[in-house]
Chains A and B, each alone.
Chain A
Amino acid sequence: DTEVTQTPKHLVMGMTNKKSLKCEQHMGHRAMYWYKQKAKKPPELMFVYSYEKLSINESVPSRFSPECPNSSLLNLHLHALQPEDSALYLCASSQDGTDDTQYFGPGTRLTVL
């Protein structure tokens, strides 16, 4: 059983909508990650939070806005997305964000119409 949960599992939104993806981990980890994965491709790193501070932003467009309210929660706010943003969005967590193992959630399948 995964200890990283993500909601919703599926999301369909229009280009003018505002929505949020949520991620929660119950392992006491201090690092959390957002990845984007297109079909038949490996996951691409978007953001890393370490001890609730944004540590890495992989030049992600501003229509994606991450938020880490506390060490267990990670949100990804979406606004004015494009159809090419349709993908599987994966959240992961790890002990402290250095060379430790990342554990992934089940993902949110996002479709932008």
Chain B
Amino acid sequence: AQKVTQAQTEISVVEKEDVTLDCVYETRDTTYYLFWYKQPPSGELVFLIRRNSFDEQNEISGRYSWNFQKSTSSFNFTITASQVVDSAVYFCALTRGSTLGRLYFGRGTQLTVWP
């Protein structure tokens, strides 16, 4: 069975602080894909990153960085120098390789960045 756990329900930080959102996953598949999505108050889910199970390279995109560690089944997301516009719910998700349609979402982490 596939499972994604986001243990942090809510996080509050002050602008310019760094913040890390945790994601732990469970799967027996050797091929799988991990995702992060951002959902601002407007409701749309915005795709941030996709990582396949064979690529453990960390990735940096501007203030965003992702740390994928298969040894601990984790795919953590760090925002550096957070901004008020980063306030949103962030979902980590997993899909199995070559399996139609199934995105397994975590419960989401509500991030609030205060000015």
Give the residue name and chain of the B residue nearest to A33 (CB): B101
Known: A104-B44, A106-B42. Is A98-B107 also a contact (CB below 8 A)?
no
Whether B100 pairs with A55 at a CB distance below 8 angstroms is yes
Whether A48 pairs with B100 at a CB distance below 8 angstroms is yes
User: Cα distance A97–B103 when bound, in Å?
Assistant: 11
Whether B95 pairs with A99 at a CB distance below 8 angstroms is yes
Whether A107 pairs with B101 at a CB distance below 8 angstroms is no
Whether A98 pairs with B105 at a CB distance below 8 angstroms is no
Asked if A86 is at the interface of the complex by the 8 Å CB criterion, the answer is: no
User: Cα distance A50–B91 when bound, in Å?
Assistant: 24
* B101 in complex: contacting residue of A31, A40, A41, A101, CB < 8 Å: A31
Which residues of A lie under 8 Å from residue B114 when comparing CB positions? none
Whether B47 pairs with A101 at a CB distance below 8 angstroms is yes
Give 1 or 0 for each of B38-53: 1 = CB within 8 Å of chain A CB: 0000111111001000
Asked if B57 is at the interface of the complex by the 8 Å CB criterion, the answer is: no
User: Cα distance A55–B101 when bound, in Å?
Assistant: 9
Which residues of A lie under 8 Å from residue B97 when comparing CB positions? 99
B window 72-115: CB within 8 A of A? 91, 95-103, 105-108
Whether B43 pairs with A109 at a CB distance below 8 angstroms is yes
Give the residue name and chain of the B residue nearest to A106 (CB): B44
Which residues of A lie under 8 Å from residue B31 when comparing CB positions? 99
Asked if B35 is at the interface of the complex by the 8 Å CB criterion, the answer is: yes
Whether B99 pairs with A98 at a CB distance below 8 angstroms is yes
Whether A99 pairs with B44 at a CB distance below 8 angstroms is no
Give chain B nearest CB distance to A21 CB in angstroms: 14
User: Cα distance A34–B35 when bound, in Å?
Assistant: 18
Which B residues have a C-beta under 8 Å from some C-beta of A? 31, 33, 35, 37, 42-47, 50, 91, 95-103, 105-108
Leading 7 A-B pairs by shortest Cβ distance: A42-B105, A48-B101, A104-B45, A106-B44, A107-B43, A101-B50, A97-B100
